[in-house]
Amino acid sequence: MLLEVRDLHVEFRTRDGVAKAVNGVNYTVDAGETLAVLGESGSGKSVTAQAVMGILDIPPGKIAGGEILFKGQDLLKLKENERRKLRGSGMAMIFQDALSALNPVLSVGDQLGEMFTVHRGLSRKDARAKAVELMDRVRIPAARERVRQYPHQFSGGMRQRIMIAMALALEPDLIIADEPTTALDVTVQAQVMDLLAELQREYNMGLILITHDLGVVADVADKIAVMYAGRIVETAPVHDIYKAPAHPYTRGLLESIPRLDQKGQELYAIKGLPPNLMRIPPGCAFNPRCPLARDVCRTDEPPLYEVSKTRRSACHFWEEAIRG
């Protein structure tokens, strides 16, 4: 197994109290596999990813428990310099906002080239050639000329391609893409997502794709983990989730995807808001918003019930949920 997150807990200590952002997350990603992590804003998707990458804001953040095994080695036991070495060559991250992730005063060629001069000891000239090659790989037209340009001279979609190129540069085993297409137009979103999926297959990388939009990842993900209030509430192969979600929250997310055949109709939205992470309700954290909730849901936290060999749901009434 390439990556195994085991019972991860992350908290943030703030003036107002302790926010329990990640509360016992488990997931795995194999080489060549794509895991989509889905959930509303604030559900702990990015914080989990930051813990894996070793870029968590500590303090105020704190890893309160768990293990993060990368090729069998617990990353939480590594020294900071060992983790730094892993970033880029072992695992790399793609962010939503390329404009703030890239350096505005360095040409994209210099930024891409730096990966090779700093990490691989290449000469400037060889690094520049590598930069052009990478820009070709992510299909940026006229790479040879554009390698001298600065991030702001590229469109949003092209900048996102540059970030993908940066992530690929050292051929990592794992890529984490955190809402990589959220800031883009719908048509550009699909192109960037297709490119990412294609490169992932080619390099046989593990990919974690974080999104709040199931519509975007349906075609590229193998399996999905749905997060709510810092917990995974459903995990399943992507097709199962589409056919019949086994958690009322997943169903709500699915029903809020815009569909072409429903143009003009008002979009369904899950009623209510996610809980305050300093006061997660007892029982099932989703119960105040859940159409299936009854007494037991307000007192007993549901375990991840085994729905099938490949599928789990943290709903006491998953059998009812799956029937729809």
Considering beta carbons, is residue 112 or 210 the nearer one to ligand ADP?
210
User: Quick one: tokens of 218?
Assistant: 């349906």
Using CB under 5 A as the binding rule, whether residue 211 contacts Mg ion is answered as no
CA angle 35, 231, 78 (to 5 degrees): 70
Q: State the Cα–Cα distance between residues 64 and 201, nearest whole angstrom.
A: 35
- Partnered with residue 227 across adjacent β-strands are 232
Using CB under 5 A as the binding rule, whether residue 46 contacts Mg ion is answered as yes
Pick the piece of the chain touching ligand ADP (CB under 6 A) from 39-47, 131-139, 146-154, 199-207. 39-47
**Residue in 57, 194, 202, 300 binding ligand ADP, rule: CB under 6 A:** 57
Using CB under 6 A as the binding rule, whether residue 275 contacts ligand ADP is answered as no
Pick the piece of the chain touching ligand ADP (CB under 6 A) from 43-51, 89-97, 166-174, 313-321. 43-51
Q: Count the neighbouring beta carbons within 10 Å of the beta carbon of residue 200.
A: 21
Report in angstroms how near the CB of residue 57 gets to Mg ion at its nearest: 13
Report in angstroms how near the CB of residue 53 gets to ligand ADP at its nearest: 12
Residue 322 contact, options Mg ion, ligand ADP, none, Cβ 5-8 Å cut-off depending on partner type:
none
Report in angstroms how near the CB of residue 176 gets to ligand ADP at its nearest: 12
Report in angstroms how near the CB of residue 39 gets to ligand ADP at its nearest: 5
Q: State the Cα–Cα distance between residues 37 and 212, nearest whole angstrom.
A: 8
Count of positions on this chain that bind ligand ADP (CB under 6 A): 15
Pick the piece of the chain touching ligand ADP (CB under 6 A) from 44-52, 80-88, 193-201, 265-273. 44-52
Q: State the Cα–Cα distance between residues 76 and 318, nearest whole angstrom.
A: 34
Q: What are phi and psi for residue 243, nearest 5 degrees?
A: -65, -50
Report in angstroms how near the CB of residue 230 gets to ligand ADP at its nearest: 7
Considering beta carbons, is residue 118 or 273 the nearer one to Mg ion?
273
Considering beta carbons, is residue 39 or 157 the nearer one to ligand ADP?
39
* Residue 323, C-beta contacts closer than 8 angstroms, at least 6 positions apart: 244
Using CB under 5 A as the binding rule, whether residue 43 contacts Mg ion is answered as no
Residue holding tokens 């949920």?
A: 321
Pick the piece of the chain touching Mg ion (CB under 5 A) from 41-49, 197-205, 264-272, 282-290. 41-49
DSSP state, residue 55: -
Nearest to 317 by CA among 81, 305, 71: 305
Residue 21 contact, options Mg ion, ligand ADP, none, Cβ 5-8 Å cut-off depending on partner type:
ligand ADP
Give 86-100 as a DSSP string. Answer: HHHHTEEEE-S-HHH
Please answer whether residues 253 and 41 qualify as being in contact, where contact means their C-beta atoms are separated by less than 8 angstroms. no
Q: What are phi and psi for residue 252, nearest 5 degrees?
A: -60, -45
Using CB under 5 A as the binding rule, whether residue 181 contacts Mg ion is answered as no
Going through the chain in order, the beta strands assigned E by DSSP cover 3-14, 17-29, 34-38, 61-70, 73-74, 91-94, 174-178, 206-211, 223-228, 231-237, 305-308, 311-313
Binding site for ligand ADP (CB under 6 A): 12, 14, 19, 21, 39, 41-47, 57, 60, 277
